[in-house]
């Protein structure tokens, strides 16, 4: 060793890799906080989407009531109102659809959240289609077909309208309450609606020999078909509720899906 030069101290810098640095710790905390905020926002958006769905259903419920009143009284003004209100239904449908697609794209929901997102997306479409069916009936009224308001076919259509309204109420309640039991009541309700629809054919026979009456009565048969389809959409909402609650999708055994041919 050269003179005047002292040996360097034999000290070593020891790092404890099991101890997080303050910077890494703060970043981890910030990441968790941000993740928490994102999840809160996700559930807020999901709740908003569900509220929109139920509000849309309420509007369509009013549409059905109004269009049946317009049919009973041949009320053209009320039929026009049904057409105008359909814009509100469409606005909610589009807003809910956009919100759900945004959640799917940005949040990647899983498990129960994913089922709820999927159920809202499907039910949103079914409710919008129900509104379209109300519009179809309103257009029939606006065509000023010369049907008599005391026709037995109108009486049957009134009952079909009441049944369809009950099915919509039941499907929305099942969704709001997450009740598979309520949802499973829908196929039985739909069977009753289908029987009324088939009964319209018997009513039609009374007008077979009267060309003028047969023309408007056959068009009332189309109105019955719209109401029957309305009930089918309610059943489809019930299927989504069952999937949401149980995690298993299955088609309810009702006439709207037909029966498999015998083999």
Spans in the chain with pLDDT lower than 50: 3, 5-6, 9, 11-13, 15, 17, 28-31, 33-37, 254-263
Listed in sequence order, the residues at least 6 apart from 176 whose beta carbon sits closer than 8 Å to its beta carbon are 54
Q: Is 116 exposed, middle or buried (0-12, 13-18, 19+ CB in 10 A)?
A: buried
Question: Looking at residue 238, what is its pLDDT?
Answer: 98
Question: Looking at residue 213, what is its pLDDT?
Answer: 84
Query: What CATH code is assigned to 37-257?
Result: 1.20.58.220
CA pair distance 21, 207, nearest whole angstrom: 89
Question: Residue 104: how many CB atoms within 10 A of its CB?
Answer: 14
By C-alpha distance, which of 84, 99, 94, 8 is closest to 50?
99
Question: Looking at residue 78, what is its pLDDT?
Answer: 98
CA pair distance 200, 203, nearest whole angstrom: 5
């Amino acid at each position: 060793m050269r003179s005047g030069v002292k040996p360097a101290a034999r000290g070593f810098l020891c790092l404890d890799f099991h101890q997080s640095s303050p910077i890494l710790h703060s970043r981890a905390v910030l990441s968790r906080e941000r993740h928490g905020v994102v999840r809160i926002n996700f559930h807020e958006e999901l709740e908003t989407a569900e509220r929109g769905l139920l509000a849309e259903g309420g509007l369509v419920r009013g549409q059905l009531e109004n269009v049946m009143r317009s049919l009973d009284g041949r009320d053209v003004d009320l039929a026009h109102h049904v057409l105008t209100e359909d814009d509100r239904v469409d606005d909610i449908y589009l807003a809910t659809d956009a919100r759900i697609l945004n959640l799917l794209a940005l949040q990647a929901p899983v498990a129960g959240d994913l089922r709820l997102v999927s159920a809202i997306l499907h039910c949103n479409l079914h409710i919008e289609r129900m509104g379209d069916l109300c519009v179809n009936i309103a257009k029939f009224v606006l065509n000023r077909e010369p049907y008599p308001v005391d026709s037995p076919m109108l009486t049957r259509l009134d009952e079909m309208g009441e049944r369809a309204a009950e099915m919509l109420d039941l499907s929305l309640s099942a969704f709001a309450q997450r009740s598979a039991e309520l949802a499973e009541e829908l196929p039985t309700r739909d069977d009753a609606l289908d029987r009324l629809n088939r009964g319209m054919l018997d009513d039609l026979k009374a007008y077979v020999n009267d060309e003028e009456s047969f023309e408007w009565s056959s068009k009332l048969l189309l109105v019955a078909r719209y109401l029957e389809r309305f009930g089918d959409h309610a059943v489809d909402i019930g299927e989504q509720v069952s999937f949401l609650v149980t995690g298993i999708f299955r088609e309810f055994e009702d006439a709207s899906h037909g029966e498999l041919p015998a083999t």
